[in-house]
Amino acid sequence: MTRSKKHLEELLDEWREEDREFREIRRRKADWNYINKQPPLIKLALIIYIETGDIYKAARIAGMTIGEFNEYRFKANIPNIT
C-alpha cells in the first residue's frame, strides 16, 4: 500500500468516526417524544436528519424548505452538527 493510499484510508476512518460521533450526539439530544408525535413524513425526515445530518435530504422528504424543516429540528432539540 502506498503512503498516499494509507493516508487517504486514515482520513476516511477519521471521517467515519466523526460521523458516528455526530449521529450519537443527535440521537442522544433528540426529543423522541416530540419526534414520535409528528406526521409520518415529518417524523421520517427528522429521523433521517438524525442518522445522516443531511438537512437538504430531510427537508426534501418532508416537502419543506430548509427553513421550515429547521423549525421542526429545533423543536425536536436536534443539534445542527455535521
Mind listing the pLDDT tens digit for each residue in 34-79?
A: 999 999 999 999 999 999 999 999 999 999 999 999 999 999 999 9
- Split into its structural domains, the chain has a count of 1
pTM of this structure: 0.87
Terminal C-alpha separation, the chain:
30
Who's near 48: CB < 8 A, 6+ residues apart?
Answer: 54, 57, 58, 61
Domain containing 21 equals 3-75
Give the pLDDT band (50/70/90) at residue 7: confident
- Number of neighbouring beta carbons within 10 Å of residue 63: 11
Is the CB of residue 46 less than 8 Å from the CB of residue 71?
no
**Does residue 31 fall inside a structural domain?**
yes
From 72, 33, 25, 68, select the one nearest 50 (Cα to Cα): 25
